[in-house]
Chains A and B, each alone.
Chain A
């Protein structure tokens, strides 16, 4: 299993855990979606996985390797790419420079970098066309595409996406989910935290529901989807 979380308890202050004894598994090559009301600890869980916050208890493993004690900068090296919430392009750098920084871990290996660019520009011809533009001058949807593409420069195994559709106009939201579905076809393991419950449900294989920092429901999409209305009613 790509990502395993067992009994994680964590919080910003010692006495106030945001997450309590959370278990979660993101299967290889699957899209796993975490949903839940505001304050359920969804984003906090991603922060714990990525080392922004150390778990007080519990174990997190990726590909069988424990992630405890690692810092955010070490995650990509361990095959975990993290899309932080909100904008994350470098607005006053070109699209090309943004992608080059996505290949930071390849170091000075020019051949590997060129290979990564060739591969990426084949998948995203639009980014090739706009490679000299400043990232900040791209439209909101294009910026999100650049952010997602940049995550894949070093071909990590797992993508963690925090609210990938937040702040985009409704028309563009669909294209983001299409893009995520495309990434799944490339074999990435994907874990998404999402407010946009129904859209996320469409591309999910497996769904976790968090409530007040604890596991509330989980199951394959086909199990959860019919019960979705009842689950959401519990939140209100």
Chain B
């Protein structure tokens, strides 16, 4: 291929846009993962399965029940919120109460177990067929020389909207402030009368809901099947590490960055390289800036 084609600004813009769209989804997933980690210290390995359940919820509503896809997004959010609340209340809280300092390691192992259980339950219930929705909104828009399908535009707009709503929720509502306080100093929050167990439950439900929404929105790119969460969860774990553990805005930014890297490496090198570059970047960041690209050494987070 001639270099001039590779460096064509329109093509580059198109590649960037595709990267931005993927990245916005990784950001959305990483945001839930980072929220759970930042507040509770729990590394949730079953986050990808929450994504998978969200995709199935979307398929169920939009295809089987033939209802508008927007209800599918709502259903994915609601189902995963309730599911997350149940998981926290029954499993994670039991470990937190019982196991003292080592409980985080136990919780980590528990979420790996949950991942295996959910994948296999999905396999038994839904089979291994890929169940997708070819298009949510037919058609597309022309932005200058770039053609963008409505579905991809929807992903971008929804991601921006949801992240902004989350920001407003955390900064300005009572529960949001209680979450911030609990994340920064749980003992002090408790002495002020805040029920931190309730805050933890809510946080886990919210994180799960965010993964579910990502799964629902991405169904036109990633059809629902039992292990669909694997690829997105690896990317979002990378984003959480790159963004600085527990730094939610950092994780979102890193998610977008990974989406762009993925698009550029696929375009300039080959699609296999994206994982290599992501992994190398994670290792480099862990060595050089273990507190992440977007956090300071003191561990300060926005």
Give the interface of A toward B (CB within 8 A). Answer: 50, 72-77, 81-84, 87-93, 97, 100-102, 104-105, 108, 136, 150, 154
Q: How large is the interface on B (under 10, 10 to 19, 20 to 34, 35 or more residues)?
A: 20 to 34
Q: A104 near B191 (CB under 8 angstroms)? A: no
Is B194 an interface position by the 8 A CB rule? Answer: yes
> What residues of chain B lie closer than 8 Å to A77, measured between beta carbons?
193
What is the minimal beta-carbon distance from B246 to any residue of chain A, in angstroms? 11
A158 to B188: give the CA distance in the assembly, Å: 17
> What residues of chain B lie closer than 8 Å to A88, measured between beta carbons?
185, 187-188, 191
What is the minimal beta-carbon distance from B297 to any residue of chain A, in angstroms? 15
Of B175-183, B225-233, B257-265, the stretch lying at the interface with chain A is B175-183
A101 to B179: give the CA distance in the assembly, Å: 11
A101 to B184: give the CA distance in the assembly, Å: 13
What is the minimal beta-carbon distance from B201 to any residue of chain A, in angstroms? 14
Contact of A72 among B190, B300, B301, B302 (CB under 8 A): B190
Q: A105 near B193 (CB under 8 angstroms)? A: yes
Q: B193 near A104 (CB under 8 angstroms)? A: yes
Q: Which residue of A lies closest to B182 (CB)?
A: A90
Give the interface of B toward A (CB within 8 A). Answer: 174, 177-178, 180-181, 184-185, 187-196, 300-302
The A/B interface has a contact count, at CB < 8 Å, of 67
Q: Given A50-B191, A101-B181, 11 other A-B contacts at CB below 8 A?
A: A75-B191, A83-B191, A89-B188, A91-B184, A92-B302, A93-B181, A93-B184, A100-B177, A104-B194, A150-B192, A154-B193
> What residues of chain A lie closer than 8 Å to B192, measured between beta carbons?
76, 101-102, 104-105, 150
> What residues of chain B lie closer than 8 Å to A50, measured between beta carbons?
191
Q: Which of B178, B191, B300 has the most CB of A within 10 A?
A: B191
A108 to B180: give the CA distance in the assembly, Å: 18
> What residues of chain B lie closer than 8 Å to A104, measured between beta carbons?
178, 192-194
Q: A90 near B191 (CB under 8 angstroms)? A: no
Contact of B191 among A82, A89, A136 (CB under 8 A): A82
What is the minimal beta-carbon distance from A15 to any residue of chain B, in angstroms? 18
Contact of B180 among A75, A90, A102 (CB under 8 A): A90
> What residues of chain A lie closer than 8 Å to B196, measured between beta carbons?
73
Q: Which of A73, A83, A102 has the most CB of B within 10 A?
A: A73
A76 to B184: give the CA distance in the assembly, Å: 20
A101 to B174: give the CA distance in the assembly, Å: 9
Q: A84 near B187 (CB under 8 angstroms)? A: yes
Task: Given A100-B177, A101-B178, A108-B174, decide whether A92 and B191 contact each other with a Cβ distance below 8 A.
Answer: no
**What would be 8 A-B contacts, judged by CB atoms less than 8 Å apart?**
A75-B193, A82-B191, A90-B181, A91-B184, A97-B180, A100-B177, A101-B178, A101-B192
What is the minimal beta-carbon distance from A155 to any residue of chain B, in angstroms? 13
Task: Given A100-B177, A101-B178, decide whether A90 and B193 contact each other with a Cβ distance below 8 A.
Answer: no
> What residues of chain A lie closer than 8 Å to B301, measured between beta carbons?
92
A97 to B178: give the CA distance in the assembly, Å: 10
> What residues of chain A lie closer than 8 Å to B187, measured between beta carbons?
72, 84, 88
> What residues of chain B lie closer than 8 Å to A75, measured between beta carbons?
191, 193
Task: Given A84-B187, A88-B188, A108-B174, decide whether A93 and B193 contact each other with a Cβ distance below 8 A.
Answer: no
Q: Which residue of A lies closest to B191 (CB)?
A: A82
Q: A84 near B188 (CB under 8 angstroms)? A: yes
Q: B191 near A76 (CB under 8 angstroms)? A: yes
What is the minimal beta-carbon distance from A123 to any residue of chain B, in angstroms? 18
Q: Which residue of A lies closest to B187 (CB)?
A: A84
A104 to B198: give the CA distance in the assembly, Å: 14
3 nearest CB pairs, A to B: A88-B188, A90-B184, A76-B193
Contact of A92 among B174, B190, B300 (CB under 8 A): B300
A75 to B181: give the CA distance in the assembly, Å: 18
A154 to B192: give the CA distance in the assembly, Å: 9
Q: A89 near B185 (CB under 8 angstroms)? A: yes
A105 to B190: give the CA distance in the assembly, Å: 11
Q: A101 near B177 (CB under 8 angstroms)? A: yes
A36 to B204: give the CA distance in the assembly, Å: 43
Q: A73 near B188 (CB under 8 angstroms)? A: no
Task: Given A72-B191, A88-B191, A102-B192, decide whether A97 and B185 contact each other with a Cβ distance below 8 A.
Answer: no
> What residues of chain A lie closer than 8 Å to B174, measured between beta carbons?
108
Contact of B190 among A73, A81, A93, A154 (CB under 8 A): A73
A101 to B180: give the CA distance in the assembly, Å: 10
Q: B189 near A101 (CB under 8 angstroms)? A: yes
> What residues of chain B lie closer than 8 Å to A73, measured between beta carbons?
190-191, 193-196
